[in-house]
Amino acid sequence: MILRTLRRCNTLPLLLITLLMLLLTGCSKRDQKRILVWHSMRPVEAELLRAELARFGTRHPGWTFGELYYQNETARTNYIISALGGSGPELFWGANDNVGPLVEMGVIQPLETLLEPAFLDSFLFEPIKANTWLNGHLWQIADRVGNHLCLVYNKKMIASPPQTISELIRVGKALTRDFNSDGKPDQYALVWNYTEPFFAVPFIGGYGGWIIDDSTRQPTLNTEAVTRACQLIYDLGHKYRIIPEECDYEIANALFKDGYAAMIINGSWSWGTYLENGINLGIARIPRIDETGLWPMPAVSPLGYSLNINTTGEKRRIALELLHHLTSAEVQLKFTALSIALPSRAAAFNSPEVQNNPLALASLEQMKVGRLMSPVTEMRWIWDAMRPSYQAIFSGRVSAVQAAQQMQALALKLIKENRE
């Protein structure tokens, strides 16, 4: 398993990079009075994290506290490599779908016996369970919940969001405009990222399907729900022409921020940026599927902290104290004010700062029809299997039926190869 994981992660270059970073950051077991947090927060959130580490540090003279940013996939891979080598940060922050791989590699510690029950009981259990358990153990303490996709709209371009896909198509035809009459739209009704299948999941849920059977950990991709979702995505671009025929995350973001797209499907990590750019922002549920009457169902996940397997003794005591601080209601509400993140502690979640915040409540409304993302490792291979066919839908290289069939076949193949 270790060799397979390392091979899939381009072991040698990443190992060299990780070792170099360890030297540069001093992240080794010899730094007995330094606590490091690895994360994938965007810059403005990282700045708040640094401020909280500094504030916590004033209570612990003689100790130093630092943070290091990595992109999501790189963070997990580098963490596994460094922890297997006996090093790595004391706390690792990210979405709960990291938990499965980290548990299987044995690089994080179970937390249920290290934290007091009253503390654990203070986290949300509804509308989703905030803290992540797997195989009977607690592995991640959340500082926020959600990480889900919503329909985000520019109120200057559309006063109220469409409630159904048929309404989206109707208003979308008026919003999609060709200013220079060259036959190509210059402004679109809706954009989103076509490279990551995470963005297709809400539509699959809207047709009554899902991507994994949580009990068997097997993919559920070759279904009518997936086929219909793929057909809808294709039709929005090629039949109704209200979305671009090609679009990745950066293009979608730029079109929305520059006023060339009235709506975007994006997650809570992006909303703070839109507010910073002065967009009069609205958040709503992705429009309901007419044929099923169901709301699109985004994947929902907590984000939070896990404890390095190599962190022991006094260092572990201080790291756990830091975990308490970073997941406190006070700190969580600072992140809510900054980026509309939904808190994971019940006291913060039910506070006026959240319950009187229209954008937070709109995000919550979408989360209520979402589905908790499974933390198991099979999810990584399912995402990998979905990606090529999802991307091919937009170009018409595969039909909706073929896309569903190919996703399922590749997912089964990857799971089998990695489990053998």
Note whether 375 and 97 are within 8 A (CB).
yes
pLDDT category at 10 given cuts 50, 70, 90 is very low
From the list 276, 255, 212, 254, the residue with the least C-alpha distance to 43 is: 276
Note whether 265 and 192 are within 8 A (CB).
yes
Compute the distance between CA of residue 344 and CA of residue 126 in angstroms, rounded to an integer: 10
pLDDT category at 30 given cuts 50, 70, 90 is low
- Structure confidence by residue, pLDDT tens digits, 248-274: 999 999 999 999 999 999 998 888 889
- Structure confidence by residue, pLDDT tens digits, 319-371: 999 999 999 999 999 999 988 999 999 999 999 999 999 999 999 999 999 99
**pLDDT at position 411 over 50:** yes
Q: What is the per-residue pLDDT for 377?
A: 94
Q: What is the per-residue pLDDT for 406?
A: 98
- Kindly state the tokens that stand for 344: 């994971």
- Structure confidence by residue, pLDDT tens digits, 160-197: 999 999 999 999 999 999 999 998 899 999 999 999 99
Compute the distance between CA of residue 168 and CA of residue 234 in angstroms, rounded to an integer: 15
Compute the distance between CA of residue 264 and CA of residue 151 in angstroms, rounded to an integer: 6
**pLDDT at position 9 over 60:** no
Compute the distance between CA of residue 52 and CA of residue 180 in angstroms, rounded to an integer: 50
Look-up of token digits 């130093």: 64
Contacts of 254 (CB under 8 A, 6+ apart): 260
Q: What is the pTM of this model?
A: 0.88
Q: What is the per-residue pLDDT for 276?
A: 85
pLDDT category at 420 given cuts 50, 70, 90 is confident
- Per DSSP, the three-state class of 372 is strand
Compute the distance between CA of residue 91 and CA of residue 104 in angstroms, rounded to an integer: 18
Q: What is the per-residue pLDDT for 31?
A: 77
Compute the distance between CA of residue 391 and CA of residue 400 in angstroms, rounded to an integer: 11
- Residue 293: how many other CB atoms lie within 10 Å: 10
**pLDDT at position 102 over 80:** yes
- Structure confidence by residue, pLDDT tens digits, 365-406: 999 999 999 999 999 999 999 999 999 998 889 999 999 999
Q: Is 204 exposed, middle or buried (0-12, 13-18, 19+ CB in 10 A)?
A: buried
Q: Across the strands, what pairs with 34?
A: 64
Is the omega angle on the peptide bond into residue 127 within 30 degrees of 0, that is, cis? Answer: yes
> What mean pLDDT do residues 123-139 have?
96
- Structure confidence by residue, pLDDT tens digits, 65-76: 999 999 988 999
Q: What is the per-residue pLDDT for 13?
A: 46
* DSSP per-residue letters across 69-101: E--HHHHHHHHHHHHHTT-S-SEEEEEGGGHHH
Q: What is the per-residue pLDDT for 144?
A: 96
